[in-house]
C-alpha cells in the first residue's frame, strides 16, 4: 500500500511534467475500459442499472462485436478471469472452440493443402464465445440475460459512426471481405469499407443478437443461428456438424501464476500463450531491471532476449492439454528460469535460440476490463483472430466466423497438430495481478505480441513504479516471429538506444510513436483498503476507460 501511495504522490508532484499523455480514470464507482468508447459507455450504463462487473463485460463485449466487428464477435472465442472482492477468489474460463470432428490433417491433404488454411471455411473452429458468455452470466450476472444485449442491439439497428483506427483496419481487409458474398454485402458499403465518421448499420447482426437475447445460448449451438452456421459452411464445403456445435462446452480452469517483485501475476493455462508472459517475468527476475534506465539499452536487451527464450518454449510445448502433455510446472519453475537466463549474453543478441528442456509435470482481438462499485473485476478477452476471422459471414445473421484453426500445424508429430475436436494454440490472454490491497485486471491485444506486452507492462509497474496509464503508454518492443534477431520498437525509444541495440546485433525496425503492432490495452484497479477504483486505456486504440455515472438525477 505504501508503494501505491508513493506512486500517487509522485504522479501529483509531476502532473505538469510527465511523459504519459492521459491521466488515469479514478472513481468510487465502477469503471469500464474497452477499445471503443461506445462499448465502454454501454458497460458503464449496465453498471449504473445495478449490473455486476460481468454483466458490464458481456454487454461491452457484445457491443464491441457491433462497433469493432473486424476484431471480435459471437463468431469467435473468449477467455476471462473474474475476481470476487468479497471472497478474494479468482475464477477463470476457457471458451475456445474445437476443430470439427470431420476435419483432420489427412482430410486437408486430400484437398491438396500442405499447410493450415489461414482463412476460408477450413480455418473455422467452433466459436466458444457465446457459451462463455452464458456460463459467466449464470455464475456472476445480476441483470437478466436479455438486458445485457440491449446496447449491442441498439447500435446494430440504429447504426454508429465508425471510428478512426477501426476504419483503417476495415479498409485493409476490403479484399478479404470481397471474396465472400455475405461479407461483401454486409460489411462493404457500395463495395467499399466505411470511412471514418460514416454511419454503419448491421440489421442482420441485430437479428442475431435479438435471437440470442430471446432464446439464450441454445439459439447459437442448436437453434436458428446454429442452422445458419451449418448452412453457410455446407455451401462452402465445410466439415462442421450440428454435433460439433451442440456438444461443445467451455471449461472452467485454474489460473497459473508467478511472483514478481512482490506482485502475484496470473494468466490462464494452455492452450493459451499466457505461460510465456510468466516465463518472461521469471527470466526478468534474474536481472536488476529496477536499476536499469526505463526503456534503456540494458533493459530492452534483457527483455528482448528473454522473449526469445520464452517464445521458443511457447512454440515447442504449448497446445491443447487434453491432447498433449504441457510441462507447465517445469516451464514456470525458478530453477528453470535460472538455467535459461544463463543463456542471455549481456552484450550480444542471440539469433538462433532453441527451446529448453523443462522438467515434465507432476501429475486480432479485443480486450476489456471492468471493475464494479463493490470491487469485483472482470478481465476478458475475445477475438476472431485475424481481422474478420475466416472472412466467412454467416447467412442472414451478419457476423464473421473466426479463423482460429489457422494456428494449428499440419506436422502430425507436433503437440499443436490439427486433430478432430482439438482446440488450437491460442494467442488471446486475459491477466490479473495483485499486491496487498491492490487488485488489477489487465490485458494487451495483438496476436503473438500479447505475452511479451504483458511482461513489459508488469515490469513497468513493478520495476519502475509507473502508474497503470503510464505503463500502458510506455514505448514497447514486439517480435512477431519465433526466430532470428528482428525486433520492432516504437519511435519514442531514444535514437541512441536504437543504435546501441543494433550494435549488439539486434535488427531493429522502428515503427510509429503509438504503433498498433504493440497492441492496445486496458487496465482496472480496485484498492480494497480505500474502495477507490482506477482505470486506464491505451492510446493505440479508439477506446477509453469510462466511469459508471453517478445518480445525479432523481
Q: What is the pLDDT of residues 393-422, one digit of tens each?
A: 999 999 999 999 999 999 999 999 999 999
Identify the pLDDT of residue 6: 47
pLDDT score of 263 more than 90: yes
Question: Confidence band (pLDDT; 50, 70, 90) for 357?
Answer: confident
What's phi and psi for 105, nearest 5 deg? -60, -45
**Cell digits of residue 511:** 515503427
Instruction: Tell me if 387 sits within 8 A of 364, measured CB to CB.
Output: yes
Is 130 domain-assigned? yes
Give Cβ neighbours of residue 496 (< 8 Å, ≥ 6 apart): none
- Give one DSSP letter per residue of 170-215, joined into a string: HHHTHHHHHTSHHHHHHH-BTTBPPPTT-EE--HHHHHHHHHHHHH
**Cell digits of residue 124:** 473455422
Side-by-side strand order, sheet with 256-260: 25-27, 533-537, 521-527, 438-444, 431-435, 263-267, 256-260
Identify the pLDDT of residue 16: 58
Question: Confidence band (pLDDT; 50, 70, 90) for 360?
Answer: low
Q: Supply the range of the domain harboring residue 200.
A: 1-12+28-273+318-326+361-446+519-554
Instruction: Tell me if 406 sits within 8 A of 116, measured CB to CB.
Output: yes
CA distance 171 to 258: 41
Q: How many residues does the chain have?
A: 554
pLDDT score of 10 more than 60: no
Is 18 domain-assigned? no
Is 409 domain-assigned? yes
Is 199 domain-assigned? yes
pLDDT score of 359 more than 90: no
pLDDT score of 2 more than 50: no
Give Cβ neighbours of residue 85 (< 8 Å, ≥ 6 apart): 374, 375, 376, 377, 439, 526, 528
CA distance 277 to 458: 9
Instruction: Provide mean pLDDT across the span 196-224.
Output: 98
- Tell me what the pLDDT averaged over the chain comes to: 95
Q: Is 365 a catalytic residue?
A: yes
Cell numbers 469485483: residue: 376
Is 202 domain-assigned? yes
DSSP character at residue 542: B
Catalytic residue among 34, 258, 297, 365: 365
- Among 156, 508, 30, which Cα is nearest to 297's? 508
Is 474 domain-assigned? no
Is 372 domain-assigned? yes
Name the burial class of residue 554, with classes exposed (0-12), middle (13-18) and buried (19+) by CB atoms within 10 angstroms of its CB: exposed
pLDDT score of 232 more than 50: yes
Identify the pLDDT of residue 19: 80
- Give the number of domains in the chain: 1
Identify the pLDDT of residue 365: 85
pLDDT score of 8 more than 60: no
More confident site: 190 or 443: 443
CA distance 545 to 538: 9
CA distance 382 to 415: 24
Is 464 domain-assigned? no
**Percentage of the chain exceeding pLDDT 90:** 92
Give the tens place of pLDDT for each residue, 456-512: 999 999 999 999 999 999 999 999 888 899 999 999 999 999 999 999 999 999 999
Whether the pTM exceeds 0.75: the reply is yes
Give the tens place of pLDDT for each residue, 68-80: 999 999 999 999 9
CA distance 117 to 99: 13
- Among 213, 415, 201, which Cα is nearest to 324's? 415
Amino acid at each position: 500500500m505504501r508503494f501505491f501511495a508513493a506512486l500517487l504522490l509522485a504522479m501529483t508532484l509531476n502532473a505538469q511534467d510527465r511523459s504519459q499523455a492521459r491521466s488515469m480514470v479514478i472513481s468510487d464507482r465502477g469503471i469500464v475500459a474497452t477499445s471503443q468508447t461506445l462499448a465502454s459507455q454501454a458497460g458503464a450504463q449496465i453498471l449504473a442499472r445495478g449490473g455486476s462487473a460481468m454483466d458490464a463485460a458481456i454487454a461491452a463485449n457484445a457491443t464491441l462485436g457491433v462497433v469493432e466487428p473486424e476484431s471480435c464477435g459471437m463468431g469467435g472465442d473468449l477467455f476471462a478471469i473474474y475476481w470476487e472482492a468479497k471472497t478474494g477468489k479468482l475464477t477463470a474460463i476457457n471458451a475456445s472452440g474445437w476443430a470439427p470432428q470431420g476435419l483432420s490433417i489427412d482430410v486437408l491433404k486430400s484437398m491438396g493443402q500442405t499447410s493450415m488454411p489461414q482463412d476460408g471455411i477450413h480455418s473455422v473452429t467452433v466459436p466458444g464465445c457465446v457459451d462463455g458468455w452464458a456460463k459467466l452470466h449464470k455464475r456472476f450476472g445480476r441483470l437478466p440475460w436479455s438486458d445485457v444485449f440491449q446496447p449491442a442491439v441498439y447500435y446494430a439497428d440504429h447504426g454508429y459512426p465508425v471510428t478512426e483506427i477501426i476504419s483503417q483496419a476495415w479498409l485493409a481487409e476490403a479484399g478479404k471481405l470481397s471474396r465472400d458474398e455475405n461479407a461483401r454485402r454486409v460489411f462493404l458499403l457500395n463495395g467499399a469499407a466505411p470511412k471514418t465518421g460514416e454511419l454503419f448499420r448491421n440489421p442482420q447482426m441485430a437479428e442475431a443478437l435479438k435471437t440470442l437475447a430471446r432464446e439464450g445460448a441454445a439459439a447459437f449451438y442448436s437453434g436458428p443461428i446454429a442452422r445458419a452456421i451449418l448452412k453457410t459452411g455446407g455451401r462452402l464445403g465445410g466439415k462442421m456438424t450440428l454435433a460439433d456445435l451442440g456438444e461443445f462446452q467451455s471449461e472452467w480452469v485454474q489460473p497459473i501464476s508467478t511472483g514478481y517483485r512482490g506482485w502475484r501475476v496470473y494468466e490462464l493455462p494452455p492452450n493459451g500463450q499466457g505461460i510465456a508472459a510468466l516465463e518472461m517475468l521469471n527470466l526478468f527476475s534474474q536481472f536488476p531491471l529496477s536499476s536499469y534506465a526505463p526503456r534503456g539499452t540494458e533493459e530492452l536487451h534483457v527483455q528482448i532476449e528473454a522473449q526469445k527464450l520464452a517464445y521458443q518454449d511457447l512454440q515447442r510445448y504449448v497446445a491443447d492439454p487434453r491432447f498433449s502433455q504441457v510441462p507447465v510446472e517445469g516451464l514456470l519453475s525458478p530453477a528453470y528460469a535460472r538455467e535459461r537466463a544463463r543463456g542471455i549474453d549481456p552484450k550480444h543478441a542471440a539469433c538462433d535460440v532453441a527451446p529448453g528442456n523443462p522438467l515434465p509435470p507432476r501429475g486480432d482481438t479485443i480486450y476489456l476490463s471492468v471493475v464494479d462499485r463493490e470491487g469485483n473485476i472482470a478481465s476478458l478477452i475475445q477475438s476472431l483472430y485475424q481481422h474478420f476471422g475466416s472472412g466467412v459471414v454467416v447467412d442472414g445473421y451478419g457476423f464473421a466466423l473466426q479463423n482460429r484453426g489457422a494456428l494449428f500445424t499440419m506436422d502430425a508429430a507436433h503437440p499443436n497438430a490439427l486433430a478432430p475436436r482439438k482446440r488450437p494454440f491460442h494467442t488471446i490472454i486475459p491477466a490479473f495481478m495483485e499486491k496487498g490491497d491492490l487488485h488489477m485486471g489487465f490485458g494487451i491485444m495483438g496476436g503473438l505480441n500479447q505475452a511479451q506486452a504483458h511482461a513489459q507492462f508488469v515490469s513497468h509497474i513493478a520495476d519502475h513504479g509507473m502508474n497503470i496509464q503510464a505503463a500502458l503508454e510506455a514505448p514497447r518492443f514486439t517480435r512477431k516471429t519465433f526466430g532470428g534477431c528482428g525486433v520492432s520498437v516504437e519511435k519514442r525509444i531514444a535514437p541512441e538506444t536504437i543504435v546501441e541495440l543494433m550494435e549488439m546485433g539486434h535488427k531493429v525496425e522502428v515503427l510509429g510513436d503509438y504503433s498498433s503492432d504493440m497492441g492496445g490495452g486496458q487496465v482496472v484497479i480496485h484498492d480494497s483498503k480505500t474502495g477507490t477504483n482506477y482505470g486506464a486505456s491505451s492510446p493505440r486504440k479508439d477506446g477509453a476507460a469510462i466511469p459508471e455515472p453517478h445518480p445525479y438525477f432523481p
